[in-house]
Every structure is written in C-alpha cells, then in structure tokens.
C-alpha cells in the first residue's frame, strides 16, 4: 500500500483550448500528500487552486498528467469507477457549507452513508459520533437555517468524513466566517482530521491557519512550489 494518500504528477489543464480566450491554469503541477499529513495550499485568487482540488478529487480531469489515490491510478477510469472512487476515497469541504436545507444536521451527515449502503442505525451512530467530536451533537435535530455559520460548517466537515475517506479536500473552508469563528471552526476541523488519521489538502488565503498545518505549498504560474 502506498504511503501517499494523494499523488499528482505533471498536471496540465487548459480552458477554452485553441480560442482567443484560452487560459492555461495548470502547467505541470506535481504534489504528494502522505497519509496522516495536513498540507496547506496557498495561492492568489484565479491561480488554479480550485481546479487542482477538483482534479485531485476526480471532479475534473487533466489534459495531461496523472492522479493516484492510495497508490491507485485514477486516470482512464470509467465515469462509474471514478464516481465510486470519489465516494469512497475523498471527502470535500467548500467555503459555503452546501447542506441540504430540508434535512437536519444529523440527516445531512447520514445521507452520504445511506447512499453508500450503510444501514440506518449504523449511519445514525456514526453521524452522532462525528457531530459530538465537533461539539454540534446538541444541535443535531436542527435544520441548517437554525444553525450558526460556524455550526453549519462543522456539520459540513462531518458530512465530508461520513464515509471514512482517506483524503479530505477543502477549498477555503473557513473563508466565509469571521476571524474568531474561523479560528474555532478550523480548530475543530484539525482535531477531527488528527483523530481520524486521514490526509488533507486545504486551500486557504489565511496564512495564520496555513502555519498550523504540517506543510505549506504554493501554486505559482501553474506549478506547485
């Protein structure tokens, strides 16, 4: 088994290829994230952070280069196989929580598990355990509209980890929160990541948060440095 949860090699991505508006976003980006390692990805807006995360999480495909999760090459897989790998191997957290508004916090964390074949009791037990770890268990029966911004994002973290992925990808996960709440929520995320032992690649503009991670890499002119 590979020591790396994520291996990206020579990624290239061009949008609007051959048109006057052609944009080359990634130009040979290479990055490895070890199991249990938390890596900060920093870059200015528009530098390609989201594109890199989407390719790493199998939401997009590179024009050239390779993507491996847990040592398994993901390039060339069928759409069905990519979907299965994404559901089982990767958890996503975005700047906005994207919780389903008609469901409670508990149900939002249960749904990915049920979709992956877990039983009702098993899904509920794991959801409550995760919510408890980030201090939101007392609010489990509330819908997102009744939760604070920090609570909503903590529920989103729990949902991302519901299926016990090997890799967490987060795109500005605290960017929509005030500084005090951001600090608290990030602390909850780091504790959750450490307890579960998964790898994480977290894009952020916040250099104070980046400094709390194991390693900081920067995306510069389409390459990881």
Model pLDDT, residue 75: 84
Number of Cβ within 10 Å of residue 145's Cβ equals 9
Q: Is 195 helix (H, G, I), strand (E, B) or coil?
A: helix
Which region among 39-53, 55-69, 168-182 has the lowest average model confidence (pLDDT)?
Answer: 168-182
| Residue-wise pLDDT tens digits, 121-171 | 999 999 999 998 888 999 999 999 999 888 998 899 899 999 989 899 998
**Cα separation, 180 vs 98, whole angstroms:** 22
CB 49 within 8 A of CB 202: no
Name the residue among 152, 150, 175 with its Cα closest to residue 105: 152
Q: Which of 73, 49, 71, 64 is nearest to 11 (CA)?
A: 64
Quick one: pLDDT at residue 1? 61
pLDDT digits (tens, 9 = 90+) for 192-218: 788 877 899 999 888 888 898 999 999
Q: What is the pTM of this model?
A: 0.88
pLDDT at 97 over 80: no
């Amino acid at each position: 088994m590979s020591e790396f949860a994520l291996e990206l090699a020579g990624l290239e991505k061009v949008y609007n290829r051959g048109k006057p508006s052609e944009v080359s976003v990634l130009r040979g980006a290479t990055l490895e994230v070890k199991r249990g390692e938390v890596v900060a990805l920093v870059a200015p807006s528009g530098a390609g952070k989201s594109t890199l995360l989407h390719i790493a999480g199998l939401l997009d495909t590179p024009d050239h280069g390779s993507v491996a999760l847990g040592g398994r090459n993901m390039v060339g897989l069928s759409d069905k196989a990519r979907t299965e790998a994404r559901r089982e191997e990767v958890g996503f957290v975005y700047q906005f929580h994207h919780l389903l508004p008609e469901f409670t916090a508990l149900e939002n964390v249960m749904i990915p598990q049920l979709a992956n074949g877990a039983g009702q009791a098993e899904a509920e037990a794991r959801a409550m355990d995760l919510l408890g770890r980030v201090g939101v268990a007392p609010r489990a029966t509330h819908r997102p509209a009744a939760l604070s911004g920090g609570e909503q994002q903590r529920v989103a973290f729990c949902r991302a980890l519901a299926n016990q992925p090997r890799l967490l990808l987060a795109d500005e996960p605290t960017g929509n929160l005030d500084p005090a709440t951001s600090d608290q929520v990030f602390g909850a995320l780091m504790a959750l990541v450490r307890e579960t032992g998964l790898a994480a690649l977290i894009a952020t503009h916040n250099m104070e948060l980046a400094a709390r991670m194991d390693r900081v890499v920067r995306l510069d002119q389409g390459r990881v440095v």
